[in-house]
Amino acid sequence: MVDVDKAVIAKLKLKGINYEVLVDCDRALEYKNGGVKNLDDVLATKDVFNDVKKGLHASFLKDTFGTDDKRKIAERIIKEGEIQVTSEHRNKLREELKKRIVNVIHRNAINPKTNLPHPPSRIESAINEAKVKIDENKNAEEQVMEIVKKINAILPIKYETREVLLKIPARFSGQSFTIAKQYGKLLKEEWQNNGNLHLIVEIPAGMQNELMDKMNGLTKGNVELSVVSAR
């Protein structure tokens, strides 16, 4: 069981009445999403309340839930209801989101002065310097463009898509083909008479170096990459 003093409320409203249980915030959210399996690792108490703060225990549970098994009722409240989120958990979500946002910018954008991606540490520093507020209720992709606008005065950022030509030796063609498709959209595939493979792949500009490093590692440096077009 969870320490009651550290527990938060999970609640579900049915037929106009609130039903509440005390839970561990992180574990309850994981349980709701199918992570944690053991209900005992989630609950701080087996009791079901109408109002935890007032100490009002729920009655006539069977009339509402079709059962008086409090474990089954608690499970339903957690899975279908709302879980109170602690400030600690909210801060943790924001930090995780910030890392994802930094990664999205790093992989998809470039510094227009150098045509190279910004280092993740520099992007994160710009976000902190601009005092950007991360919204934990939105995913990274939903807020990244607004964040780019806010940090653009500190860190010039350009979103660019490139079509790159990869010339791959025959003995590496199979694995290279698979990797190329993971990094972008395959636009053209051309097999040469000697078995070599030429691919044109559309990728975010920020991923060009990463793709080249991956291909160089696979082919021991026996790959050619050139930019066909950029927009």
List, as one string, the DSSP characters of 73-128: HHHHHHHHSEEPPPHHHHHHHHHHHHHHHHHHHHHHEEBTTTTBPPPHHHHHHHHH
Instruction: Write down the pLDDT at residue 1.
Output: 66
> How far is 39 from 129, CA to CA, in rounded Å?
42
Residues 125 and 165 in one domain: no
Residue 132: other Cβ atoms inside 10 A? 18
- Asked if 91 and 77 sit in the same domain, the reply is no
Q: Is the pLDDT of residue 51 over 70?
A: yes
**Domain CATH number, residue 145:** 1.10.10.900
Beta strands at 158-159 and 8-14: parallel, antiparallel or unpaired: unpaired
CA-to-CA distance for 151 and 124, rounded, in angstroms?
10
Q: Same domain for 173 and 148?
A: no
pLDDT tens digits for range 102-138: 999 999 999 999 989 999 999 999 999 999 999 987 8
End-to-end CA gap in the chain? 57
The answer to whether residue 228 scores a pLDDT higher than 80 is: yes
Same-domain status, 113 and 60: no
**13, 57: one domain:** yes
The residue segments making up the domain with residue 43 are 4-83
Domain count, the chain: 3
99 lies in the same domain as 132: yes
Same domain, 98 and 58: no
Per-chain mean pLDDT for the chain: 93
In this structure, the answer to whether residues 96 and 136 fall within a common structural domain is yes
Domain end among 65, 83, 101: 83
Burial class of residue 20 in the structure, from the number of CB atoms within 10 Å of its CB (0-12 exposed, 13-18 middle, 19+ buried)? buried
**166 shares a domain with 154:** no
- 220 in the same domain as 154: no
Contacts of 182 (CB under 8 A, 6+ apart): none
* Residues 114 and 73 placed together within one structural domain of the fold: no
* Separation of alpha carbons 101 and 97, rounded Å: 6
A 10 A CB-CB count for 42 gives 28
pLDDT of 53 above 90? yes
